[in-house]
Structure formats: C-alpha cells, structure tokens
Amino acid sequence: MPAAATPAPAEDRPRTKGEQTAERILDVAEERFAECGYAGTTLRDVAARVGLRIPSLYNHFPGKEALYVAVLERGLGPVLAVLSEYLDADAEAYRDSGRVVERVIELLARRPNLARLIQYETLSGGGRISPALRDWMARAFARAHEAVEATPAARRWGRERAPFLVLAMYHMVLGYFAMAPLYRELAGEDLLADEMLERQKRFVTDVVDTLFAEA
Amino acid sequence: MPAAATPAPAEDRPRTKGEQTAERILDVAEERFAECGYAGTTLRDVAARVGLRIPSLYNHFPGKEALYVAVLERGLGPVLAVLSEYLDADAEAYRDSGRVVERVIELLARRPNLARLIQYETLSGGGRISPALRDWMARAFARAHEAVEATPAARRWGRERAPFLVLAMYHMVLGYFAMAPLYRELAGEDLLADEMLERQKRFVTDVVDTLFAEA
Amino acid sequence: MPAAATPAPAEDRPRTKGEQTAERILDVAEERFAECGYAGTTLRDVAARVGLRIPSLYNHFPGKEALYVAVLERGLGPVLAVLSEYLDADAEAYRDSGRVVERVIELLARRPNLARLIQYETLSGGGRISPALRDWMARAFARAHEAVEATPAARRWGRERAPFLVLAMYHMVLGYFAMAPLYRELAGEDLLADEMLERQKRFVTDVVDTLFAEA
Amino acid sequence: MPAAATPAPAEDRPRTKGEQTAERILDVAEERFAECGYAGTTLRDVAARVGLRIPSLYNHFPGKEALYVAVLERGLGPVLAVLSEYLDADAEAYRDSGRVVERVIELLARRPNLARLIQYETLSGGGRISPALRDWMARAFARAHEAVEATPAARRWGRERAPFLVLAMYHMVLGYFAMAPLYRELAGEDLLADEMLERQKRFVTDVVDTLFAEA
DNA sequence: GATGAATGAGGATTCATTCAT
DNA sequence: AATGAATGAATCCTCATTCAT
C-alpha cells in the first residue's frame, strides 16, 4: 500500500503494551499464514503461540480476515516502498534494474515469510487483498512493463515480451523463498542461510544482467 | 512417480461406471485443490460439483487426504514421465534443455491446475506427498543439477550455481501458471489463452537459450 | 424363547450354502455383539470378518437389529431349554438346584459369548429383546422364586429372600464369564481355560450346596 | 485411583460457574454412560440434557473419551477409597469382610450408576480405563485374594479357591445394581428402592457370613 | 446370493465469533 | 486488555440402509 510506502520511522516501535501485543500477534500470524495459508491457519494456533486465549485476539483485530490483511499490509509495505521508488523514478533509473531486484531480495531475505505470503495470496487469486492494494499491484505491473520497455532489454526481447520478462523476474525472486522449506527436506540445504541468500542474490543479479544486456 | 513414467496406454479410459465417477471426482477435486489449496477445499464443495452427496465420495476414496494424494499422483505422472526421460538420458540430451522446458510447459498448459497444485504443495512444505514421490523429487533435483553441470551453461555459471539455475527455471515455468487467475484480474489478460501460452513457451525457450548459451 | 427350548436336533446343521453363510454371519455377529455390545458393533466389522460386503448381510437378515435378535435367540435357546426343563419340573427336582447351575455353566462354557451377550442386554435394560422372550424371562424369574421356595433353603433364608438368592446365583454364574477378558489382562489368567472352568463349576456347585443346605 | 483414596474434603463443592457446569455435565454423562454404555451414548444427548449445545461440552472436557474417563474416575474414587482402606489394613481387619461388602453396597446404593458403569467397562475389556486405574485394579484383585486367604474361609475353601470367592462376591454385589432396570420391567419391583437395598445388604452380609464361616 | 454405488441421518470435533466478567 | 463460557456453522467421516446389477 502506498500509505506504508514511506520507510518506517524509528519511533514506529510500539509504545503501549497493547501495541506490543498486537505486534506479537502480527508476528506469529505472519509466520502461520506464511506456513499454512489463510484457510490452513487457525486462530487457536496463533493465540497459543502468542500465549493468549483466542478471544484476546479480538481485542486487537476485528477478526481472522482483518488480521490476515493487517499481516499482509504490514509486510508488503516496505517491498512496495522499494518498488514504488523504482517505478516512480525517471527512465534513467530503469537502467539499473538489477539493483532493484537486489534490494527486493535483501528485503525478502530479512522477512522470508513475506514471499510465501505473497505466493499463497497469488495462488488463491488475491481474493482477500484490499481494493487499494489490488489497484496498486495492477498499476505496478503496468509500470513494470513500461519500465522494462524503457530498458535496453526492450530492443532485445521486443516490447510485447516485457510482461513475460516481468513475470519471470517476479517468480525467480519469489519462488526461491517459497521453495525453502521443501528444499531443505529434499536436498538438505537451507536456502535461507546467509551464504545461500548471498549467492542467490548474485545469481539473480547476473541473470538480470544477462537478460537485460543488449544482444 | 516413476511408476507412472510409462506413457498412459490408450485403454486407460475408465471403463466401469465407478471408475468414471472416480475420474469425475478427481477432476473436480483437482480443480478445487488447485484453486483453494488442501485446507481451503471442502468435500462438501467437491461433492456438490460432482453432483453427489458427500458420503458417496467415500465409496471411491478413503478420505480427503487420500483424494488429494490421488489427484496429485494422477496429475504429476505425465510431468514426471517427461522429466524422468530427460534426467535418465545421457549427457548428450542435456544439451537440449530448452526442449524439455518446452514439453513441460506444453504439459502444464494442458492441465493448468497442475502447476498450482504443485505450488500449493511446495508452499506447505510437501507434507502430504508420499515418501516415494518425495524421493523422486529429491533425486530429480539432484539429477537436474548434474544435468545442468553437463551443459555448456556450466562453464558460464560455474558448477556450484547449478542449483540456482534449476530453481530459477522451475519457478519461471511454474509461477507463470500459478499467477494466471490473479493476473487476469489485475491486468485483464488471460495468461492461459493459447496465444499467450505460445508466447510464454517461446519466451522461456529463449531465456533458456540465452542463459545456457556459452558466454 | 420357548420355541427354541427343544434341544437342537442333529439335522439342524445348515444345508444350503445360504444357510451356511447365515450361520457364519451369526457366529461372527455373536462374537462382535458380545465383545462390543449392540451400539459398539458395526456391520462393517461383521461383514469384514465374515469375508463379505455389507449389503450381503441383508440377504440373510433384514437389518442390524434383526441380526442381533437372531444372535440372541440362537444363543439363548439351549440355556432356556435347560432352565425350562428345570422350572417346569415338579418340586422334587428342585432339590437338585446345584445340578442345574452345573449344566448352565457347562453350556455357557461352551459359548462364552453368551454370558456377555446377556449381560450387555441386561445392562441396556433389555430394550431389544422380543416381547416373547421378555415374557419368558419374567415367568422364569417368578418360577425360580417358587422353585427356591420349595427348596430346603427356604427354611434357611426365608421365602421373601428367594429373589435375592436367585439373583445372586444368576450373577455369580454369568459374571464369571463376563469378567474373563478383563481378568486375563489384569491377572494374566484365562478364566475360560478348561481347568479354570472346571474349578469354577465345582466352586459354584459347592456354594450352591452351602447356601441351599439346611442350617 | 489411590489419589482419590483420601476422603473428599468438605470444600470439594464446585465454586466457579464453570466448575458447576462441568459437574452437571459429569452427572448427566454418568447417567448416560451407565444407561447406554460408551458407544451408545451421544454427546448430543448429553448436551441436550445438560441444557447446552454440543460445542460447549468441549469447553469443559477435551472430548468424549476424556469425559468418560472423568466420569469413571470421579465415580470410582470413593469405592476405591473404601476398598483401599480394607485391603491395606492388617490381617485382623480381614475378619470383617462382611463389613466391607456392606459399605460398598451402601456406596453403590447411593450412586447406582456406578455399578453399571463398572460392568459396562468390564464387559468391554477395560480398554478405556487409565493404566493407573488398571494397575490399581490388578493390585486390588491380588490383595483381595490374599485377604481372603487370611480369612477362616481359607480353611474351608482352600487357598486356591480364593479368586473364585472374590469374583463371586464381586458379581453378587455389582450384578444386583446392573440388573435393576431390567428387573423392574420384568418383575415390576424396584431393586433400588430403599427397602430392597436394605434387604439385599442384609442378604449379602448373611451370604458372606455363611460362606466365610468355618465349616 | 453377492456387490458396487449412492445416500439420509447422525457421529465427534473444530472454527471463528460473541459477550459478560 | 484478557478470558471463561457459550454457540452456529461447518468440518471430516461413519452408520445402517437401499437398489440396480
């Protein structure tokens, strides 16, 4: 959401006890929604992990859906801020697409739940995100196409392939995080380990450079 | 699963009435699981769409989880067959990575639910897939790395980046399908339309060619 | 039931295949009802143990309740025969109460399910036994009192205590069988083993002799 | 259970509203389990008789089985206390076996459901009682044998017949209560009426005296 | 006589939610 | 702000039963 696009000021730390509780609820809920999706997450589980009884959650959020939306908006804020900054910049900045990807990866690396949250929401068709966020995303995609078109890559791929390029980048970045838990089980490797994240970041940057390079 | 790796024979069409019903249940369930995930799918909904009462489902599948697994295995069979063929081939075949990607895309295009099924399962950590399938996937990833390493791309990216390349391809291909419903709402464009699929297929092939090309 | 009171003739063995199946169903059902009671027994379980599908049971019995009644009546027949014989005899025979008890124990020993069937039915208030059987039992109790009253024990215990004596005998005999499974678990001893049954028979006979002896 | 062997303190009355509700649920459940057994009792019935909706039961007990166990343990406590006292006493007390039986009968008379509960549980093999209770019962039987053996009756019956004597007493006492509902229907007499209970108590005491008397 | 398929009724249990305290 | 108690709705699943084959 654009509203959250401004970087969180230092005094954004919760002050009152109630705000602290709300924050803890958001943390736990984010983790659960990221792990199990909306339908698979129960307030019972959230409350238990926070150390509260279920009705207490209602002192901070009007219901499950509202909690979910709050989690989503809190988490999406910084990402959208980065993207907004990029998308609203002038054409000159577009040259540095790799840099945006890098920043987004760093952001998601710090909050790996976020990527999974987004993927769950994407899979379920985005039915629960607010109209505002919806609009923002639609605009973001549109601007992304424009941005890509303003890039040297356009000459290489053709303007009409910009959406495909945007989607490919999107999935390459997000999918990596979504895959982490399963990958650890299958390959015994933790994709979220610092070292791996660093390598993935460099890898994606290189891919971007390669793809966006002039032929 | 490797068992399904043999191409389905022509007489695979269900014969008895029961088998036809089971097939219809699988079809509907596949659609629901792909749409809503495991937790978000209700047997009530499945039964209603099949035109049955809930208990009738139990004449064909022992329970929700078994139905889910059946959906997964039926859907995954052909994909695994293609991949198995590729992964078990000799190094020579590895040169033609683009061709595999193309075939997988064609396969997923014919059954778009499949990609979303896989993504949901990936997000939830693969907790419900059978150990056999789990092993298959672990082996597939391992082999994929080897395959990539046997490719000219290895020289370009370095052997230790093969996993990242594999994951990137994986997500670029699958994510496209998972995104389709949301994308239609946001951008008003149907990613699953024949024309779009054709362009995506060419696009991915080009990307593969680009990335796997020698520097 | 009085109808079954006549001792089963030798040619009572089932002839046709259907009758044999019915017999097998009765055997299994008797075992299940004795083990789990009426509510705790499922036709699914019965059918599985017989090696049939559930609907096949309906070819032999009109329903669960009818099956239960059939089990009860088939099992109770011989016991009632013995008791009827005793109760309908003249006063002279009453002297030999110990002998009746002995015969009943022998009978129950051969079909240990029977005792548990009766106890379950007793506990549930006899709601499912046929009115005919109900009448028979009512009469049997009444006659038993008379019989006891005609005994030397009457002088010892007083006529008005005959019912208590009858009930005591009843429970001493039946309870032993009902207790068998639990007892084996608790004490590691099989009350239904031949040797134990023999000792119980002698024990009960001795108790009867003691109680019915003239002071 | 030994834990319950200490006499319930006076302030055992439930205080909070929740505890009162739990108590009411236990009362109703005890009655239903005693009447219909575990399998035959439905939470719907329990809830309705308590005046609650079914889910409310889960605010007080985690499930049907837990409720059953709670009913059993609450009910068995006092009985076990009496028996424990007797069984742990020195040999001298064993002479007064009739007194124990009397006290147990008085106890069961005050809570007639208890005997039926025990009988149902016995019939079903004790599959649901806690291991602790199981151990207690095993020990109780063993001690009972010892107790009987320390009695003049031992000379009369022989040491190896002690278990039979114990079982006979057990069933004579418990069976009376279990039979009550059926007996009322068959003979039109209420075995649980004060007068009848008094006579049964005297009768059993007399029987014990007779059987345990020296020859 | 046996069974595959279908189903109405009901089983225990969980869920998100409310409200008085 | 926190919670115990209560609940309507819905969860998956099982039951006994029917019927066409």
Cβ–Cβ < 8 Å for A41, A29: yes
Average pLDDT, chain C: 87
How many A-B residue pairs are in contact by the CB < 8 A criterion? 145
Confirm whether C144 is domain-assigned: yes
Tell me the DSSP string of A92-132. Answer: HHHTTHHHHHHHHHHHHHH-HHHHHHHHHHHHTTTTTS-HH
Q: With CA atoms as reference, report the closest residue to D144 among D185, D97, D179, D182.
A: D97
How many C-D residue pairs are in contact by the CB < 8 A criterion? 143
Which amino acid residue lies closest to nucleotide E4, measuring CA to C1'? B18
CATH number for the domain including B94?
Answer: 1.10.357.10
Q: With CA atoms as reference, report the closest residue to B171 among A104, A108, A177, A187.
A: A177
Residues of D in contact with C179 (CB under 8 A): 122, 167, 170-171
Please determine, for residue C128, whether its predicted confidence score (pLDDT) is greater than 80. yes
Q: With CA atoms as reference, report the closest residue to C200 among C77, C71, C109.
A: C109
Instruction: Give every CB contact of residue D64 below 8 A, 6+ residues apart in sequence.
Output: D38, D41, D43
Taking only the tens of pLDDT, chain B with its 215 residues reads: 444 444 444 456 668 899 999 999 999 999 999 999 999 999 999 999 999 999 999 999 999 999 999 999 999 988 888 888 887 777 666 666 668 888 899 999 999 999 999 999 999 988 888 888 888 888 888 888 888 888 777 888 888 898 999 999 999 999 999 999 999 988 899 999 999 999 999 999 999 888 888 76
Range with the largest mean pLDDT of C15-24, C43-52, C122-131, C145-154? C43-52
Please determine, for residue C1, whether its predicted confidence score (pLDDT) is greater than 70. no
pLDDT of residue D6: 46
Distance B42 CA to F4 C1' (A): 31
Owning domain of residue D132 = 11-212
pLDDT of residue B45: 98
pLDDT of residue B14: 60
User: C95-132: b or e for each residue (b if 16 or more CB lie within 10 Å)?
Assistant: eebbebbbbbbebbbebbbbbbbbbbbbbbbbeebeee
Positions 38-57 in C, CB within 7 angstroms of strand E: 52-56
Say whether the CB atom of B16 is under 7 angstroms from strand E: yes
pLDDT of residue A12: 60
Q: With CA atoms as reference, report the closest residue to D213 among D108, D132, D95.
A: D95
Among the residue ranges B88-102, B148-162, C113-127, D75-89, the one predicted with the least confidence is B88-102
Please determine, for residue C196, whether its predicted confidence score (pLDDT) is greater than 70. yes
What's the rounded mean pLDDT across residues C45-68?
Answer: 98
Q: Which of D137, D148, D207 to mutate to probe the C interface, most C CBs <10 Å? A: D207
Average pLDDT, chain B: 87
Please determine, for residue D61, whether its predicted confidence score (pLDDT) is greater than 60. yes
Which amino acid residue lies closest to nucleotide E15, measuring CA to C1'? A42
pLDDT (tens digit, 9 = 90+) per residue, B140-161? 888 888 888 887 778 888 888 9
- Give the DSSP letter of residue B8: P
The Cα angle at residue B195 between residues B193 and B198, in degrees rounded to 5:
105
Among the residue ranges C84-88, D100-104, D189-193, the one predicted with the least confidence is C84-88
pLDDT of residue B3: 44
Query: What six digits make up the tokens of B58?
Result: 């139990």
pLDDT (tens digit, 9 = 90+) per residue, D191-203? 999 999 999 999 9
pLDDT of residue A69: 95
pLDDT of residue D91: 62
User: Which one is predicted more confidently, A91 or C193?
Assistant: C193
pTM over 0.75: yes
Please determine, for residue D131, whether its predicted confidence score (pLDDT) is greater than 80. yes
Say whether the CB atom of A126 is under 7 angstroms from strand E: no
Confirm whether C6 is domain-assigned: no
Which amino acid residue lies closest to nucleotide F4, measuring CA to C1'? D18
pLDDT of residue C165: 92
CA D117 remoteness from chain centre: 7
The residues of chain A scoring below 50 in pLDDT are 1-10
pLDDT (tens digit, 9 = 90+) per residue, D157-207? 888 899 999 999 999 999 999 999 999 988 899 999 999 999 999 999 999
Distance D44 CA to E9 C1' (A): 13
Contact assignment for B168 to A211 by CB distance below 8 Å: no
Q: With CA atoms as reference, report the closest residue to C133 among C68, C197, C186.
A: C68
Contact assignment for B186 to A126 by CB distance below 8 Å: yes
Confirm whether D5 is domain-assigned: no
Contact assignment for B35 to A125 by CB distance below 8 Å: yes
Query: What six digits make up the tokens of B39?
Result: 């937790």
Distance A143 CA to E16 C1' (A): 39
> C2 pLDDT band (50/70/90 cuts)?
very low
pLDDT (tens digit, 9 = 90+) per residue, B44-62? 999 999 999 999 999 999 9
Confirm whether D173 is domain-assigned: yes
Rg (alpha carbons) of chain C, rounded to whole number = 19
Distance from CA of A187 to the nearest CA of B (A): 6
Query: Given a contact as 3+ CB pairs under 8 Å, which chains touch C?
Result: D
Q: Among D181, D183, D186, whose Cβ lies nearest the Cβ of C134?
A: D186
Contact assignment for B35 to A124 by CB distance below 8 Å: yes
Please determine, for residue C91, whether its predicted confidence score (pLDDT) is greater than 80. no
Say whether the CB atom of C124 is under 7 angstroms from strand E: no
What's the rounded mean pLDDT across residues C160-165?
Answer: 91
Contact assignment for A123 to B141 by CB distance below 8 Å: no
Contact assignment for C37 to D174 by CB distance below 8 Å: no
Q: With CA atoms as reference, report the closest residue to C101 among C148, C134, C158.
A: C148
pLDDT of residue B91: 62
- State the CB neighbour count (10 A cutoff) for residue C215: 8
pLDDT of residue A2: 45
Nucleotides of E under 7 A from a protein CB: 1-20
Q: What is the rounded CA–CA span in Å between residue D13 and residue D31?
A: 20
Cβ–Cβ < 8 Å for D38, D68: yes
Contact assignment for A39 to B39 by CB distance below 8 Å: yes
The helix/strand count (H/E) of chain B reads as 11, 0
User: Which one is predicted more confidently, A124 or D25?
Assistant: D25
Cβ–Cβ < 8 Å for C75, C114: yes
Cβ–Cβ < 8 Å for D171, C179: yes
Instruction: Give chain A's domain count.
Output: 1
The Cα angle at residue B191 between residues B188 and B195, in degrees rounded to 5:
110
Q: What is the rounded CA–CA span in Å between residue D190 and residue D109?
A: 12
Residues of D in contact with C165 (CB under 8 A): 203
